Amino acid sequence: MTLEILTSDSLAPLQHGFFTRRGGASSGVFTGLNCGAGSSDQAHAVAINRARAATALGIDPESLVGVHQVHSADVLPVTGPLKDKPRADALVTATPGLALSVLTADCQPVLFADPDAGVIGAAHAGWRGALDGILEATLDAMEALGATRANTVAVIGPTISQAAYEVGPEFLDTFVMADQDNTRFFANGTGGRYQFDLPAYGLHRLRQAGIGEAEWIRHCTYGEPDRFYSYRRTTHAGEADYGRLLSAIRL
């Protein structure tokens, strides 16, 4: 099976992609293109998968740059391949030939670009990172490299949708304490629980930050098991581990 790569017309001038799980070398619960070295998948299978993704992006595997994601609001500017993986949740660069990448399995993968300035970014934005400001921090770091918010485009890739994201009242309380208006991102569920709209919240934060254009490509990781890995779906199924989806962009 060949690789399946989702793209956005908004980022069309730049090589980018939200890779699905199709076309990889992993097997078992990881079947497909698992690009997460932090999973319990076989290391050689993950290496093959990452090499296939790099080839699709027109680079060598060393130029596929990522970080050790920790659900923070920390952004790393990069100018070349990394020897190790610093702890952060977003990367920015103005260096051609590097592909900035993030790994997700329900959280939002967000790709950024100001094509005129020649500056790109990639962020891993789960609920905690989004609430703490990872998206705004990525825009700040891009501006430091010469980007302009009004000229910057951000695209949210496959992420968990509101229908699949059930949360408890304490989760709602955390968001309401940050901003009373955040109630708009919650719908009533069953048994006193709620459904949280993560991509709508991400779009809100981006637009509030003054970005030129922002969109979600409208694919739910939970609802399409043949295409996407999902931490929540794995938990519900009682499986021991889960694959990680790769999203990347390059100048």
CA pair distance 120, 17, nearest whole angstrom: 13
pLDDT for the residue 45? 98
Q: How confident is the model over 204-217, as pLDDT tens digits?
A: 999 999 999 999 99
Question: DSSP states of the chain as a string?
Answer: ----EE--GGGTTSEEEEE-STT-SB-GGG-B----TTSSS-HHHHHHHHHHHHHHTTS-GGGEE--B--S-S-EEE-SS--SS--B-SEEEE--TT-EEEEEESSSEEEEEEETTTTEEEEEEE-HHHHHHTHHHHHHHHHHHTT--GGG-EEEE-SB--GGG-EE-HHHHHHHHHH-GGGGGGEEE-STT-EEE-HHHHHHHHHHHTT-SEEEE---BTTT-TTT---HHHHHHHT-S----EEEEEE-
Res 220 pLDDT > 80: yes
31 close to 48: Cβ distance less than 8 angstroms: no
Q: How confident is the model over 86-106, as pLDDT tens digits?
A: 999 999 999 999 999 999 999
Q: What is the mean pLDDT of residues 229-234?
A: 98
- What is the pLDDT of the chain when averaged over all its residues? 97
Other Cβ atoms less than 10 A from the Cβ of 3: the count is 18
Q: How confident is the model at residue 119 (pLDDT cuts 50, 70, 90)?
A: very high
Res 69 pLDDT > 90: yes
Q: What is the mean pLDDT of residues 111-134?
A: 98
pLDDT for the residue 1? 76
Q: How confident is the model over 140-199, as pLDDT tens digits?
A: 999 999 999 999 999 999 999 999 999 999 999 999 999 999 999 999 999 999 999 999
Structure tokens given for 154: 């951000």
The CATH superfamily label for domain 5-161+197-250 reads CNF1/YfiH-like putative cysteine hydrolases (3.60.140.10)
